[in-house]
Amino acid sequence: MGHGKLRKFAENETFKCLLQPSAAEVLADGFFNLRDHEVKGHWNERMFDAPRPIVLELGCGKGEYTIDLAERNPSCNYIGVDIKGARLWKGAKYATERHLGNVAFLRTRIEFITAYFAPREVSEIWLTFSDPQFRSENSRLTSPLFLERYRSFLKPGGIVHLKTDSMFLHQYSRAVAACNGLRVLGCTEDLYATPPEALAPSLSIPSETVGALYEVQTFYEKMFLEQGYRITYLSFIIDHDGPYAHPTDFDEDYWRSVEGPRLLFGHDSAETRRQKLHDTDTI
């Protein structure tokens, strides 16, 4: 491990806005019986300077979206979640140096998310450039398995936002929403070709959120935009009675082929380009 990562890991221990719980404690009773963390149900009182509605960004990377949303909308508390400590360091350091009282970060696997949030504790979820997980449906962050997890802590009317360059993940998520009768608030296959005034009326979300859609760009988004790939957006309300169903009419082979070869570090498939980004991202 490089000295740069070691320095960041050491500095992470000093950031009050960054929670780094032990996975062993959460898993003490097994993966299917996660042990609740003491912060569950107490985020507003323990991690922020005032109680406010809580918004999560899952897979936040370096925290660009979490930070920018928090600065734009001080009426909400924002939590960025990721497993990579070297990435979280950047956002946690920024929030600490600027005394942002409505920003926190959680280092954990998203599979463990239910151990950290109580029923109705969260108002919204952002999924920004998540891995499309071509081979494993249950690993997709908009799969029925994950929607069930989100429902355990989202308030009634809670919103999930998906911003992605993957047409595969976008279309899969639309299929999940459709087969479960979820109310779609906003949907476009080419965000930057859709004027805000055309998208905003159907969104029914704050203007700060609409602005962030167009003006906040993650490390990954900038890279894909430079290559000319379209950015998609989908938001829906998660409310649903009973188990979430898996879409039966989603053609995985077709939408996987639509991703096609991508030029990043040479000619890569959409799957391998993300893996290379994952392997080389040490910031």
Element (H, E) at 253: helix 252-259
pLDDT for 277 equals 54
pLDDT of residue 225: 87
pTM of the model: 0.89
Q: Which residue's entry shows tokens 């779609």?
A: 184
Containing structural domain, residue 251? 3-280
131 is catalytic: yes
How many residues in the chain? Answer: 283
How many Cβ atoms sit within 10 Å of the Cβ of residue 107?
20
Do residues 5 and 81 lie in contact, with contact meaning Cβ atoms separated by under 8 Å? Answer: no
Per the structure block, which two tokens stand in for 190?
A: 């080419």
pLDDT of residue 196: 81
> What pLDDT shows up at residue 263?
47
Q: Is 170 within 8 Å of 162 (Cβ atoms)?
A: yes
Residues 6+ apart with CB under 8 A from 231: 163, 164, 165, 190, 191, 192, 221, 224, 225
Number of domains in the chain: 1
pLDDT score, position 134 = 92
What CATH number is attached to the domain comprising 59?
3.40.50.150
Q: Beta-strand (E) ranges in the chain?
A: 18-19, 54-58, 77-82, 103-107, 122-128, 154-164, 184-188, 232-237, 261-263, 267-269
**CA–CA–CA angle 55, 57, 60 (5° rounding):** 150
Instruction: For residue 56, give the nearest of 135, 144, 146, 139 by alpha carbon.
Output: 146
* pLDDT of the chain, 283 residues: tens digit per residue: 565 788 888 988 999 999 999 999 999 999 999 999 999 999 999 999 999 999 999 999 999 999 999 999 999 999 999 999 999 999 999 999 999 999 999 999 999 999 999 999 999 999 999 999 999 999 999 999 999 999 999 999 999 999 999 999 999 999 999 999 999 988 999 999 998 877 765 556 667 777 888 888 888 888 888 888 899 999 999 998 999 999 999 999 999 988 865 544 444 444 555 555 555 554 4
Strand 261-263 to 267-269 pairing = antiparallel
Those residues whose C-beta lies under 8 Å from the C-beta of residue 114, and which sit 6 or more positions away, are 34, 149, 152, 153
According to DSSP, residue 243 is labeled: P
Task: List the catalytic residue out of 131, 165, 279, 281.
Answer: 131
